[in-house]
């Protein structure tokens, strides 16, 4: 399958190994309770999901949280009351769009980055449509660059 905004072909398949859910992975040091306490501690510090997963992999040798708990990290965070307002991939795109808009305000003649902003915003709209249908975003959510810039600042 070809990628949407480049002339190159993509590699559309998962590279994750098949693991049994509910089993203890090899090289795992610690208990479920310790890992859960660290997940909560990291979430209180303001870390996002990808960074929490990376820290658990480095510190405890836990490659996939789902293998140990039988559920994903975002489900665990929701249960503990640390669910993010926006999904992490959407937040990353919104942050990039805000930075790019700020750059274009200072550099009006940068036509290449204007095109990149157009492509980035189309990704945001597509992802927003998906998240509205799946219920991760409210049904009346719309991408507004001014509101997003205020959200990113806080």
Q: How crowded is residue 16: how many other Cβ atoms within 10 Å of its Cβ?
A: 9
Residue 146 lies in a domain: yes
Question: In which domain, by residue range, is 149 found?
Answer: 88-153
Asked if residue 5 belongs to a domain, the reply is no
Q: Are residues 95 and 47 in the same domain?
A: no
According to the model, what pLDDT value does residue 21 have?
Answer: 84
Residues 105 and 145 in one domain: yes
Q: Which CATH number does the domain housing residue 95 bear?
A: 1.10.287.10
Rg of the chain (C-alpha set): 19
Q: Are residues 50 and 100 in the same domain?
A: no
Neighbour tally for 149: CB within 10 Å: 15
Number of domains in the chain: 2
Task: Tell me whether residue 40 is exposed, middle or buried, using C-beta atoms within 10 angstroms of its C-beta: 0 to 12, 13 to 18, 19 or more.
Answer: middle
> For position 2, what pLDDT does the model report?
56
Summary mean pLDDT of the chain: 89
In the chain, alpha helices (H): 32-44, 49-60, 65-69, 73-80, 88-106, 111-134, 145-153
Q: Do the domain assignments include residue 58?
A: yes
């Amino acid at each position: 399958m070809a990628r949407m905004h480049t002339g190159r072909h993509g590699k559309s398949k998962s590279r994750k190994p098949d693991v049994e859910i509910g089993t203890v992975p090899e090289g795992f040091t610690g208990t479920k309770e310790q890992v859960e306490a660290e997940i909560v501690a990291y979430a209180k510090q303001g870390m996002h999901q990808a960074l929490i997963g990376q820290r658990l992999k480095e510190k405890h040798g836990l490659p996939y949280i789902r293998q140990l708990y039988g559920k994903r990290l975002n489900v665990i965070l929701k249960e503990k009351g640390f669910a993010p307002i926006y999904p992490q991939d959407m937040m990353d795109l919104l942050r990039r769009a805000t930075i790019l808009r700020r750059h274009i305000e200072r550099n009006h003649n940068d036509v290449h980055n204007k095109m990149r902003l157009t492509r980035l915003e189309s990704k945001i709209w597509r992802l927003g449509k998906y998240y509205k249908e799946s219920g991760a975003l409210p049904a009346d959510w719309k991408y507004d660059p001014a509101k997003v810039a205020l959200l990113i600042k806080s």
